[in-house]
Each structure stands twice: as C-alpha cells, then as structure tokens.
Amino acid sequence: MYQSLQHASRWKCAEVLYAFFTFCLLNLGIFALSSDSYV
C-alpha cells in the first residue's frame, strides 16, 4: 500500500515537471516567433 502510494506521488511529481517543461518550451517558441515577426 505504502509503496504504491509512493509510486503514485513520484508519477505526479514527474507529471508536474513535464507540464512545466512543456509550458516553458511553448512560451520560448511563441516568444521566438513573435520576435522573428517583428524583425
């Protein structure tokens, strides 16, 4: 029981990190595109 709970929390942490990483990449991509269009 405890082991499965620990496994679930670890997955949740990885999920949050992955979402944050994807969000940052999207923001960087949008920023690069907008700066390219201004030039």
pLDDT in tens, 18-36: 999 999 999 999 988 888 7
Determine the Cα–Cα distance for residues 22 and 29; give it in Å rounded to an integer: 10
Q: Is the pLDDT of residue 39 over 60?
A: no
Alpha-helical runs (H) found in the chain: 2-38
**Cα atoms in the 13 Å half-sphere on the side-chain side of 28:** 6
Mean pLDDT value across residues 4-15: 84
Q: Identify residue 29 by its one-letter amino acid code.
A: G
- Taking the model in full, what pTM does it have? 0.60
Determine the Cα–Cα distance for residues 11 and 16; give it in Å rounded to an integer: 9
Determine the Cα–Cα distance for residues 39 and 37; give it in Å rounded to an integer: 6
38: pLDDT confidence band, cut at 50, 70 and 90? low
